[in-house]
Structures are given as structure tokens and as C-alpha cells.
Chain A
Amino acid sequence: MKAYLGIDVGSVTTKLAVLDENNKLIAHTYLLTSGKPTAMVQQGLVQIKEHLPPDAEISGVATTGSARYLAGVVVGADLVKNEITSHATAALFYFPQVQTIIEIGGQDSKIIIIRDEIVTDFGMNTVCAAGTGSFLDHQALRLNMSIEEFSRRAMNHQTPVRIAGRCTVFAESDMIHKQQMGHRIEDIIYGLCQALVRNYLNNVGLGKEIKPPIVFQGGVAFNQAIVRAFQEELATEVIVPPHHEIMGAIGAALLAHEEMTGYNNRRSQFKGLDVSQIKYNTSSFECKACPNLCEIAQLQTDSQVLARWGGRCDLWERAPSEEAK
């Protein structure tokens, strides 16, 4: 049985999804990236191998997410795709009528506008992480509760407190202020969820025509309180797909399938599920060829450099296989 693997390596989590020939999800995994994208991809492959039916043969691989190039080299990807296209592909596959995708991950948030099954516009947060998962994590940690408890307790609000959500720093001091005033913690954290939603709509969603059906993807969609806050603010239903947290990986797998079976009928470059045996090193150096002093990152095994990137020009990208520097 042919199968297609999608790998989404984000800033906070690493997701892998395998689809069969009928695009049915047959295996998936969700790990914390913990700042070690290479090791986590390898670990993810080990887990996938355990879940995979024995007759499944990976016939195409695509990577996405902020470490898509790195992951692509590690596994031997057939396609490296940006996360916007991947998320849109997955959402369109399950919900062909979708007109708006809200995606909130660990460090970034996106909006994707779709009309007639085609992406017509998109936006990403630029300078601020006030509306992302990491911020919620941080606040939950500060209040000494797990993110699950945070979500559960926020749902128990009575009269939400208005929190200034424009900036994480202001939001935090405003929350502390409201705590010291004696507001209920449930009302404060739901107020924070509302602030995050307002911030998202006013920044990422600015100037975008948000029409239903709306699909909400990404790890933050686990948080029931955020979903509720979106529904209240937009006054419409917000659909959270069952596998919302791995939609990027599913989208990548769909794109891998399309890439490998379309007009080009290629052979997969995939290095196999046992790639976890290989030891990879990442390092970086400053290029001194010109005054730009670019920081060049490189991925290497013991014997050879596999890839380099990070330069303003393609001086180092051109010759990846020479001696390690």
C-alpha cells in the first residue's frame, strides 16, 4: 500500500501525518520541538514506524513549517512547502466550502481567505506574539496551572474582565492588576482569551473579509475558551476539525501525494523511516566573504555537509557537499 508522509516542524511542536492512497489518515504523531528540530523529526519517524500498518510503503514526503528546509534535508523530502499552502490544502480537503481559515500555532498566527476553493488572500502576524500559543502557555505557567486546566477554568467564567491584549507585556501587567483588585481568576483568564481573539482580529485579520464557514486549526484550537471567544466575537460558528493540531502535516502529505502522482510521476527521495539511526550535527559560522557577515547554518553528518542556508547570497548554498567548515 502506498502512503504519503507530511512533516510539519513548527517552533514549538513537530507534527507528522501519514495518509494512504485514498488520503485517509493512517498514522500521526505530535511532539514538542524543544528547540531540537532534527532530533524531533527523527523521534517522530520512530513513532510513526510503530503506528504504521506493515504493508505501508512511504511513496512521497513533504515538509512544512518554519524548519521545513532543515527537515526536508534530514528526511529527503520530495517537496518543501510553506505552511500557508499546507494549511489551506488540508482545510479545503475536509471542508471544500471553507471561506476563512484561522490558524494559531506556538509562535505565529495566520489567516487564510478562500473563495471558490482557492486561496485569495492571507496574513501572518508580523512583529508580535501576543496572539499565539506561547503567550497562553506562559500565562498558564505564571498562574501555576496546566494549559488544559487554563482552558477548563476559563470556560467557568461568569463576568469576563477586560484585559488589554495589544501586547504581551501590557496584558500581563493588566492581568496582575486585575488579580490584585480581587477579580475571579476564571473571569480574568477568559478575559485574556477574549483579548487574544481581539488582538488576532485587529492585527492578523485587519482588512480581511472573514466569512463563514470558518475553520480553526493549530494547537491553540485545543483551547475551548479561545474557540468560544472567537464564536462570540464573530457571532458565527467556528469549526474545529478533529485533527486540527496536525492539519499542517496533513496538508503537506496531501501535497506530497499530488506531487508524486500527478503529471510528473516521480520516485521518492525519502531516506526511509530508519533515518533516525544517522547522527546529524547542526552548526553555524559567520561568512567573511563580504561585509554582510551572514550567519550560515549548516547540517552535516560525520563525513559530509548536507546543506547550508542563511546567507543573503547563494555563495554557500551552491556547494553544499564540500568539506565541513
Chain B
Amino acid sequence: MRVSMPHMGNLYIPFKALFQRLDIDFVIPPISNQRTLSLGTKYSPEGLCIPFKLALGNLIEAAEMGADALIMPVGNGICRLGYYAQTQEQILHEIGYANVRVVRIGISEHKLLGLLKTIKYLANNASWPRIISTFRFGLTKLNALDRIERIVQKVRAVELVKGTANQLFAQAVDAIDKADDYNTLKKAQADYLDRLDRIPKDPQAQPLLVGIIGEFYVLLEPFSNLDVESELGKLGVEVRRTTFTSSWTKFSLFLNSLGINEKDRIHRAALPYLKRDIGGEGWESVGEKVLHAKEYDGIIHLAPFTCMPEVVAQNIMPSTRESIPILTLICDEQTTKTGMLTRLEAFVDLLQRKRRAGTNKQPRVTVRGGYT
């Protein structure tokens, strides 16, 4: 049995650590790229969303590498994702990977126990203490990655040489991936946080603060959103996002089972406009917009094309009392970088002029044209 899984940002790193330590035969498909997307699009029903298509592309590329046990999340009531694993398994069988099995991990119920049981099964019934200890090590890697990414989001906006933080981030990901014990991991984290701190920055910069909200997968997989965060960084914008793989794992695997839900606060904020979960992250998108309207200069809302929950959220958001400029970007295999950049540049201009007008109330003195 050879195990693999689809990509979502850097999620493969903690899983790789976990599987290696449990002596599971494990392969990582290539990082999502144009070929992944072409493969996924070719074999997917057209109306499905980009998370489905990219994940299918990853699974096909994993199957090409000989993987036959492919992990996919499933769940009840979240959205069409509930059926993705079954559909993908059927597609893989139809295109010739007859022996491939898609191993489903429930993320709406069972949670932690379900995940651990799946790992135990994949690890050929390894002992519980061994599973728990390796699982903890994987989580520590995940936390380290997300801590560094949070700093990268800040540095990108103010670094003097654009692209430096991204280069360091790529090296940091590599170092964390290679770290074999807690000590090395801790050292790598401290080392890269320090190096990020020492990147030459513009001391005068007062970067705009833009919140990124929307559907989970397109938020966390840069390939699917055309790396919107780096593009904003190039435009001198600091990006803030509440959804991180580590916090999501922490809550959905541990704290939720104890009745603690980080999302309660977000849901409460959304209540005047949307009273219930509508699947996906629709409820959260509305709540986050309301919650952060005062705190951010603007919000970018990411949604996969044909994503019903996010379309509903998109139509509720402009009418909330808490107002803030918001730009919805639809992610799809048809989305082009040029189109996205034009919108981002215009949005950043809008926010900059708004901020300037807010801080400088006296009217601009310009010579007017003669048409009026």
C-alpha cells in the first residue's frame, strides 16, 4: 500500500513527517502546477469547483507515482465536498487506475478520533503511543510553518527588495520539512524568524491592511488563487487572514470536541444578516466581513467559481451596516493573472485614495476642466 494525498498549501509537510516516522510508504505528488490543473480539468465534470479539479489532478499525479491509497477529506453538510472523495475514486477507476482507493477522512464528525484511526490503519496498526507522539511532531511543524507565514505576510508589504521574504519563506519551508527532531525544528523556526526580521524594510512605510476571507481551499492553496497574497505584497499591502491550516486543525480536531469553537465569535457577528450555516465558509465570510470592517482598510473575498455558499455570502456582504471596501475574486481555471492584477491594482488605488482623503480633510486644489 502506497499512501498519498492532495495538496493544500504546505499541508504535505506535517503529513510527510507523520508518515515517514510511522514507516508508511508515502509519496508526495508534484506541487500543484499547470499540468495538475489540466489533468484535473480534463477529467472533472465542468461545473465543479477548482478545489475539486486541483485535488483530482493531485490524485492522478499521485497515482502515476504508484500511490494506491489516497487520502481525501469528506464530511456531512459542508458542501459538495461531502461527495468529492467518492466521485474522485470513481473517476480514477474510469480512467484506468482500477486499484486505487480513496481513503476518506471525516472532518465534520469523528474528527480527531477518526483521523487517528485512519492513520493507525494506514500505519499497519502501529501502537497508539507511537501514533500520538508522531502526530504531535507533525502538528509542531504545522505551527512553525504558519507562524513564519504570518510574519512573511507583514514583511512582503514593507521589504525594500520585493521578493526577498518569499525567497526566505521557501527556504524556511524546506528547512522545516527537513527537520528531524524538535530541537532542529525549533532552531529552524527561530533562525528564519530572525532572518525575516533582518530583511531591510522601508521605515516610513505605512502599509494598507487587507483581510483575506472566503472559501477555505482557495485561501490556503496559492496556486488556486494565483498567489494573490504575494501580488498584494508587491503592491505594498499587508495581508491578514484568520484561516490558517494550524488554527483550523487545532479547532476542528481538538477544541471543537470540547465544545470550544473559535468560529462562534464570527457566527455571532454574522447573525443579523445570516442566521445559519449555508455550507462551505459562507457563514464565516459574512461574519468576518462584519467583524473586521473597522480593523482593516479593505477586504478581498476569494471564492471558487460555482461555489454556492460563497456566492450567497458575496450578495449579502455589500448590504451590511458595517461597511468596508470589498473585492470578490472568483478563482477558476479560466481566471487570468492579467485580469486579477488589474482589479487588485484598482482596488489598492481605491484604498490608498480613501485613506488619504480620510487623513487629509481639506479639499484638493486642482484646476477643473470646463465641461460642467
**Are A94 and B33 closer than 8 Å at their CB atoms?**
no
B346: which A residues are within 8 A, CB to CB?
Answer: 82-85, 119, 122
B337: which A residues are within 8 A, CB to CB?
Answer: 312
Output the least CB separation between B121 and chain A (Å): 32
Output the least CB separation between B369 and chain A (Å): 4
Task: Answer yes or no: A242 CB below 8 A from chain B CBs.
Answer: yes
Known contacts: A118-B357, A314-B163. The answer to whether A241 contacts B371 by CB under 8 A is yes
A82: which B residues are within 8 A, CB to CB?
Answer: 341-342, 345-346, 349
Q: Per-position contact with A for B330-372: 1 when CB-CB < 8 Å, else 0?
A: 1000100111011101110110011001000000101111111
Q: Decide if the interface of chain B is mainly helix, strand, loop or mixed.
A: helix
B325: which A residues are within 8 A, CB to CB?
Answer: 120-121
Task: Answer yes or no: A283 CB below 8 A from chain B CBs.
Answer: no
Query: 13 A-B contacts, Cβ less than 8 Å apart?
Result: A22-B367, A66-B338, A84-B345, A84-B346, A94-B368, A95-B371, A96-B368, A97-B372, A117-B357, A121-B318, A207-B315, A312-B337, A318-B163
Q: Which residues of chain B from 202 to 219 have a CB within 8 Å of any chain A CB?
A: none
Task: Answer yes or no: B264 CB below 8 A from chain A CBs.
Answer: no
Task: Answer yes or no: B45 CB below 8 A from chain A CBs.
Answer: no
Report the Cα distance A100→B54, complex, angstroms.
39
**Are A23 and B345 closer than 8 Å at their CB atoms?**
no
Those 10 A-B pairs whose CB atoms lie nearest each other, nearest first: A84-B346, A94-B369, A291-B33, A82-B345, A85-B349, A94-B371, A292-B34, A119-B350, A292-B33, A82-B346
Task: Answer yes or no: B110 CB below 8 A from chain A CBs.
Answer: no
Q: A94-B371, A124-B339 are in contact. List 8 more A-B contacts (CB 8 A).
A: A94-B372, A95-B371, A96-B372, A97-B372, A119-B346, A120-B354, A126-B330, A291-B34
B368: which A residues are within 8 A, CB to CB?
Answer: 93-94, 96
Output the least CB separation between B82 and chain A (Å): 28
Q: Per-position contact with B for A75-119: 1 when CB-CB < 8 Å, else 0?
A: 000000111110000000111110000000000000000001111
Output the least CB separation between A39 and chain B (Å): 21
B200: which A residues are within 8 A, CB to CB?
Answer: none
B349: which A residues are within 8 A, CB to CB?
Answer: 81-82, 84-85, 119
Report the Cα distance A85→B227, complex, angstroms.
23
Q: Per-position contact with B for A288-312: 1 when CB-CB < 8 Å, else 0?
A: 0011111000000000000000001
Report the Cα distance A241→B369, complex, angstroms.
11
Report the Cα distance A298→B366, complex, angstroms.
39
Report the Cα distance A83→B366, complex, angstroms.
21
Q: Decide if the interface of chain A is mainly helix, strand, loop or mixed.
A: loop
Tally of chain A residues near chain B (CB < 8 A) = 34
Residue of A nearest to B33 (CB): A291
Q: Which A residues are within 8 Å of any B CB, using their own CB?
A: 22-23, 66, 81-85, 93-97, 116-122, 124, 126-127, 207, 241-242, 290-294, 312, 314, 318
**Are B318 and A207 closer than 8 Å at their CB atoms?**
yes
**Are A83 and B342 closer than 8 Å at their CB atoms?**
yes
Task: Answer yes or no: B30 CB below 8 A from chain A CBs.
Answer: yes
A127: which B residues are within 8 A, CB to CB?
Answer: 334
Output the least CB separation between A114 and chain B (Å): 10
**Are B345 and A85 closer than 8 Å at their CB atoms?**
yes
Report the Cα distance A149→B372, complex, angstroms.
30
Q: Which residues of chain B from 64 to 84 have a CB within 8 Å of any chain A CB?
A: none
Report the Cα distance A293→B315, complex, angstroms.
36
Task: Answer yes or no: B136 CB below 8 A from chain A CBs.
Answer: no
A93: which B residues are within 8 A, CB to CB?
Answer: 366, 368-369
Q: Which residues of chain B from 320 to 334 have a CB within 8 Å of any chain A CB?
A: 325, 330, 334
Report the Cα distance A127→B339, complex, angstroms.
10
Contact among A94, A95, A293 with B34 in the assembled complex (CB-CB below 8 Å): A293
Report the Cα distance A82→B315, complex, angstroms.
26
B341: which A residues are within 8 A, CB to CB?
Answer: 82
**Are A290 and B33 closer than 8 Å at their CB atoms?**
yes
Residue of A nearest to B61 (CB): A291
A81: which B residues are within 8 A, CB to CB?
Answer: 345, 349
A96: which B residues are within 8 A, CB to CB?
Answer: 368, 372
